[in-house]
Amino acid sequence: MRQKIIVLDFGGQYNQLIARRVREAGVYCELLPWNKPFSDWADESLAGIILTGGPNSVYEPASPRLGREIFDLGVPVLGICYGMQLINYILGGNVEAAGVSEYGHTLLHTADTGLFRHVDRETAVFMNHTDRVSRVPDGFEIDAWTQDCPVAAFSCASRGIYGVQFHPEVRHSVQGAQMLRSFLFDVCGCAGDYRPEDTIEHMLSEIRRQAGDRKVVAGLSGGVDSSVACALANRALQPGQLTCVFVDHGLLRYREAEQVMATYRDNLGLNVVHVDASERFLKALEGVTEPEKKRKIIGEMFVRVFEKEAAKTGATCLLQGTIYPDRIESGMGGSATIKSHHNVGGLPKDSLFKKEAIIEPLANLFKDEVRAVGSALGIPKEMVWRQPFPGPGLGVRVIGEITREKLDILRLCDHIFLEELENAGLQESIWQAFAVLTGVRTVGVMGDGRTYSHCVALRAVTSDDAMTSEAAEIPYPVLKKATSRIINEVRGINRVVYDVTGKPPGTIEWE
């Protein structure tokens, strides 16, 4: 049986990253809401539990809390930030408001104990807390401290209980991954043999089991997730059982529909139907400015198009390329809903597709795991490494009301920017690059006259997994060239800005 670690989510912003790091270490894990009943997940495959950070304070009456039973499950427990304070609280230690909040890089002093046996005695970590442990429970020892935090890590090795006040999961904690590995391997005894591509056979049989002999329609967007999902389904199902639907919602990039269709036809041997639904989508979006509303409308429209195609083929199942972060960021865990990803937005109540007929073979995988599966399936490199593009497309990159005119302007700006990045050989180092029509008009001067036109923002980010990102440091001459081309070649733009915001505090997309 495959070992698993359960990460209980108390709402902190880095919680998905904890799960990522555990899987990167070759250990399967799932992120679940903190209040999910133990009976749903505490089985013989359980090797350890991680309690995440969160925005609360353990002494607030409404804070999420667990009872002592969490320590009776017979597996080690690691608490991170709020998770550590919770352990301390449950076991009778003291937590107090620190005089100063500690935020950012901090020098951690470690003892040769707990999770710190394989790291330096002084190592940089990332802190983000206001409360701190002031007295540890009986039987616990202090494993690490910082200048402002006398108990930065503690443990009771005999009971397999560990806590760290800082965030080992973020890259700023330079040796954080090693500390997590110590928990997984030295403490929990995990084997570290999980590889996403080894789950292909399981995914194929799950698709077969869920579909049975029913016909299936699949949403195909041109992105890596849906391409891999469709390639899996194509392998799993009988000839004629699967119809892939590529929906042109009018919110695609420059010449995207032609390119994507050609790639599918030439490379994947899929049965793909191209549906031009742009009229319907744009009509439904008329006058809508609020981002979540746009996402919900686009999500519902997709389902309606799939239903229509399903009716033509007699399909009753819908296959989607939903991946793990989509579900988590849409509020499946204990964390706040940041954005409703369209394929998790929930089916309209009257949908023809019943809940049990939704097949999501990648729903437990992170993006790089999907890419590993895609490569193992022989999907061409340029598809597996295609930049992510959001399901709602340019709909969330035209800020404010979406019109055909704005979409046309944006498409051209985006195309020019990407072309200049390509010319400069920068595409490979960038996670995602695109243009955003800001919804702001500015005054300019062109020739001898005044202009009052759109301002476009360029955005390029580097990232490992889209959960955090930094603005890419594009050489200035490249930005300048792209800017001058945009101003000269795109009517309706008189100003170009470059977005240098990281995530957090920004998100990658503007809406």
Footprint on this chain of ligand XMP (rule: CB under 6 A): 295, 338-339, 341-342, 388, 390-392, 432, 466, 503, 507-509
- Report in angstroms how near the CB of residue 118 gets to ligand XMP at its nearest: 33
Residue 179 corresponds to which tokens in the numbers above?
């500390």
Residue 202 corresponds to which tokens in the numbers above?
């399981």
Task: Give the CA count within 13 Å in the CB-facing half-sphere of 252.
Answer: 21
Nearer residue to ligand XMP within complex by CB, 167 or 397: 397
Residues 326 and 307: their CA atoms lie apart, in Å, by: 22
Residues 330 and 328: their CA atoms lie apart, in Å, by: 5
Nearer residue to ligand XMP within complex by CB, 106 or 438: 438
Nearer residue to ligand XMP within complex by CB, 3 or 226: 226
Nearer residue to ligand XMP within complex by CB, 107 or 338: 338
- Report in angstroms how near the CB of residue 249 gets to ligand XMP at its nearest: 12
Nearer residue to ligand XMP within complex by CB, 46 or 284: 284
- Report in angstroms how near the CB of residue 311 gets to ligand XMP at its nearest: 25
Annotated catalytic residue within 102, 129, 149, 169: 169
- Report in angstroms how near the CB of residue 468 gets to ligand XMP at its nearest: 9
Q: CB atoms < 10 A from the CB of 103, how many?
A: 11
Residues 115 and 156: their CA atoms lie apart, in Å, by: 11
CA max distance for the chain: 80
Annotated catalytic residue within 29, 102, 129, 167: 167
Looking at residue 172, its amino acid is H
Task: Give the CA count within 13 Å in the CB-facing half-sphere of 167.
Answer: 23
Look at the block and give the residue holding tokens 């390119």.
259
Nearer residue to ligand XMP within complex by CB, 106 or 335: 335
Q: Are 434 and 459 in contact (CB under 8 A)?
A: yes
Angle, nearest 10°, between helix axes 224-236 and 200-211?
Answer: 70
- Report in angstroms how near the CB of residue 234 gets to ligand XMP at its nearest: 20
- Using DSSP's 3-state secondary structure scheme, residue 10 falls into coil
Task: Identify whether 169 is a catalytic site residue.
Answer: yes
- Using DSSP's 3-state secondary structure scheme, residue 148 falls into coil
The residues facing 218 across adjacent strands are 244, 319
- Report in angstroms how near the CB of residue 387 gets to ligand XMP at its nearest: 8
Annotated catalytic residue within 29, 81, 149, 230: 81
Just list the catalytic residues: 81, 167, 169
